[in-house]
Structure 1
Amino acid sequence: MLHCCGSKRFAREMAFACRFADVHHALRVARDIWFNKVDVAGWLEAVSAHLAIGATSPPSPSGARKSNPLRWLLPPIPSCR
Protein backbone atom coordinates (compact mmCIF):
# COMPACT_ATOMS: atom_id res chain seq x y z
CA MET A 1 0.00 0.00 0.00
CA LEU A 2 2.92 2.37 0.66
CA HIS A 3 3.77 2.02 -3.01
CA CYS A 4 0.47 3.75 -3.80
CA CYS A 5 0.51 6.35 -1.03
CA GLY A 6 3.46 7.46 1.09
CA SER A 7 1.34 8.04 4.20
CA LYS A 8 1.97 5.23 6.67
CA ARG A 9 -1.26 5.99 8.50
CA PHE A 10 -3.30 5.82 5.28
CA ALA A 11 -1.62 2.55 4.27
CA ARG A 12 -2.21 1.01 7.70
CA GLU A 13 -5.87 2.06 7.82
CA MET A 14 -6.54 0.81 4.26
CA ALA A 15 -4.87 -2.52 5.02
CA PHE A 16 -6.96 -2.85 8.18
CA ALA A 17 -10.15 -2.03 6.24
CA CYS A 18 -9.47 -4.34 3.30
CA ARG A 19 -12.15 -6.73 1.99
CA PHE A 20 -13.95 -4.28 -0.20
CA ALA A 21 -17.13 -5.26 -2.01
CA ASP A 22 -16.05 -3.39 -5.15
CA VAL A 23 -13.93 -0.47 -6.32
CA HIS A 24 -16.61 2.03 -5.29
CA HIS A 25 -16.56 0.70 -1.75
CA ALA A 26 -12.74 0.92 -1.70
CA LEU A 27 -12.87 4.53 -2.88
CA ARG A 28 -15.47 5.48 -0.25
CA VAL A 29 -13.32 3.94 2.48
CA ALA A 30 -10.18 5.59 1.10
CA ARG A 31 -11.88 9.01 1.09
CA ASP A 32 -13.10 8.53 4.64
CA ILE A 33 -9.64 7.51 5.85
CA TRP A 34 -7.89 10.31 3.97
CA PHE A 35 -10.13 13.09 5.22
CA ASN A 36 -11.09 11.80 8.68
CA LYS A 37 -8.21 9.67 9.97
CA VAL A 38 -5.05 10.98 8.30
CA ASP A 39 -3.81 14.23 9.80
CA VAL A 40 -1.83 17.02 8.15
CA ALA A 41 1.45 15.29 9.00
CA GLY A 42 0.21 12.22 7.11
CA TRP A 43 -0.77 14.34 4.12
CA LEU A 44 2.69 15.93 4.09
CA GLU A 45 4.28 12.49 4.39
CA ALA A 46 2.30 11.35 1.33
CA VAL A 47 3.17 14.45 -0.70
CA SER A 48 6.86 14.21 0.16
CA ALA A 49 6.91 10.63 -1.16
CA HIS A 50 5.96 11.83 -4.66
CA LEU A 51 8.54 12.39 -7.36
CA ALA A 52 9.53 15.93 -8.19
CA ILE A 53 7.72 17.40 -11.19
CA GLY A 54 9.44 16.18 -14.33
CA ALA A 55 11.33 13.37 -12.61
CA THR A 56 11.07 9.95 -14.22
CA SER A 57 12.40 7.89 -11.32
CA PRO A 58 13.19 8.51 -7.66
CA PRO A 59 16.77 9.44 -6.81
CA SER A 60 18.64 6.51 -5.35
CA PRO A 61 21.19 6.83 -2.58
CA SER A 62 24.77 5.85 -3.36
CA GLY A 63 25.14 2.10 -3.25
CA ALA A 64 21.42 1.40 -3.41
CA ARG A 65 22.01 -0.97 -6.31
CA LYS A 66 24.24 -3.17 -4.14
CA SER A 67 21.75 -3.38 -1.28
CA ASN A 68 18.67 -3.84 -3.49
CA PRO A 69 17.35 -7.41 -3.09
CA LEU A 70 15.95 -7.19 -6.63
CA ARG A 71 19.25 -6.03 -8.15
CA TRP A 72 19.18 -8.98 -10.57
CA LEU A 73 16.26 -7.22 -12.32
CA LEU A 74 18.36 -4.13 -13.00
CA PRO A 75 20.59 -3.79 -16.06
CA PRO A 76 24.31 -4.07 -15.32
CA ILE A 77 26.27 -0.87 -14.77
CA PRO A 78 29.05 -0.49 -17.33
CA SER A 79 32.45 -0.29 -15.67
CA CYS A 80 34.43 2.93 -16.03
CA ARG A 81 38.15 2.39 -16.51
Structure 2
Amino acid sequence: MITRLQKIYREFPRKFWLVVFVSFIDRVGGTLLFPFLSLYITQRFNVGMTQAGIVLGLFSIFGLVGNMIGGALT
Protein backbone atom coordinates (compact mmCIF):
# COMPACT_ATOMS: atom_id res chain seq x y z
CA MET A 1 0.00 0.00 0.00
CA ILE A 2 2.83 2.39 0.82
CA THR A 3 4.50 1.73 -2.52
CA ARG A 4 1.21 2.48 -4.26
CA LEU A 5 0.94 5.83 -2.45
CA GLN A 6 4.54 6.64 -3.34
CA LYS A 7 3.79 5.88 -6.98
CA ILE A 8 0.77 8.20 -6.94
CA TYR A 9 2.82 10.91 -5.22
CA ARG A 10 5.56 10.71 -7.84
CA GLU A 11 3.11 10.89 -10.76
CA PHE A 12 2.37 14.55 -10.05
CA PRO A 13 4.87 17.44 -10.04
CA ARG A 14 5.92 19.19 -6.84
CA LYS A 15 4.02 22.36 -7.79
CA PHE A 16 0.79 20.36 -7.85
CA TRP A 17 1.34 19.11 -4.29
CA LEU A 18 2.23 22.62 -3.17
CA VAL A 19 -1.08 23.93 -4.53
CA VAL A 20 -2.94 21.05 -2.83
CA PHE A 21 -1.25 21.78 0.51
CA VAL A 22 -1.83 25.54 0.35
CA SER A 23 -5.48 25.03 -0.66
CA PHE A 24 -5.95 22.65 2.27
CA ILE A 25 -4.51 25.16 4.75
CA ASP A 26 -6.70 27.90 3.26
CA ARG A 27 -9.85 25.80 3.61
CA VAL A 28 -9.03 24.79 7.19
CA GLY A 29 -8.43 28.42 8.13
CA GLY A 30 -11.70 29.51 6.56
CA THR A 31 -13.59 26.74 8.34
CA LEU A 32 -12.08 27.62 11.72
CA LEU A 33 -13.23 31.20 11.23
CA PHE A 34 -16.96 30.33 11.10
CA PRO A 35 -17.62 30.05 14.88
CA PHE A 36 -16.00 33.43 15.51
CA LEU A 37 -17.82 34.98 12.57
CA SER A 38 -21.16 33.85 14.00
CA LEU A 39 -20.31 35.46 17.34
CA TYR A 40 -19.30 38.67 15.57
CA ILE A 41 -22.54 38.75 13.56
CA THR A 42 -24.71 38.23 16.65
CA GLN A 43 -22.95 40.91 18.69
CA ARG A 44 -22.34 43.51 15.98
CA PHE A 45 -25.76 43.38 14.30
CA ASN A 46 -27.78 42.35 17.37
CA VAL A 47 -29.37 39.29 15.78
CA GLY A 48 -29.91 35.78 17.10
CA MET A 49 -27.82 32.71 16.46
CA THR A 50 -30.49 31.37 14.12
CA GLN A 51 -30.17 34.34 11.80
CA ALA A 52 -26.37 34.15 11.97
CA GLY A 53 -26.57 30.44 11.12
CA ILE A 54 -28.79 31.17 8.14
CA VAL A 55 -26.35 33.82 6.88
CA LEU A 56 -23.38 31.45 7.22
CA GLY A 57 -25.37 28.61 5.64
CA LEU A 58 -26.22 30.79 2.65
CA PHE A 59 -22.56 31.78 2.43
CA SER A 60 -21.62 28.10 2.22
CA ILE A 61 -24.30 27.28 -0.36
CA PHE A 62 -23.33 30.21 -2.59
CA GLY A 63 -19.68 29.23 -2.22
CA LEU A 64 -20.47 25.68 -3.32
CA VAL A 65 -22.40 26.89 -6.37
CA GLY A 66 -19.67 29.40 -7.20
CA ASN A 67 -17.00 26.71 -6.97
CA MET A 68 -18.97 24.48 -9.33
CA ILE A 69 -19.36 27.27 -11.87
CA GLY A 70 -15.78 28.47 -11.46
CA GLY A 71 -14.43 24.93 -11.69
CA ALA A 72 -16.34 24.36 -14.91
CA LEU A 73 -14.84 27.53 -16.40
CA THR A 74 -11.23 26.51 -15.78
Q: Same fold (TM over 0.5)?
A: no
Structure whose residues are more often helix by fraction: 2
Q: TM-score, normalised by structure 2?
A: 0.34
Kindly indicate whether structure 1 or structure 2 has the higher relative contact order, using CA contacts under 8 Å at least 6 residues apart.
Answer: 1
Q: TM-score, normalised by structure 1?
A: 0.32
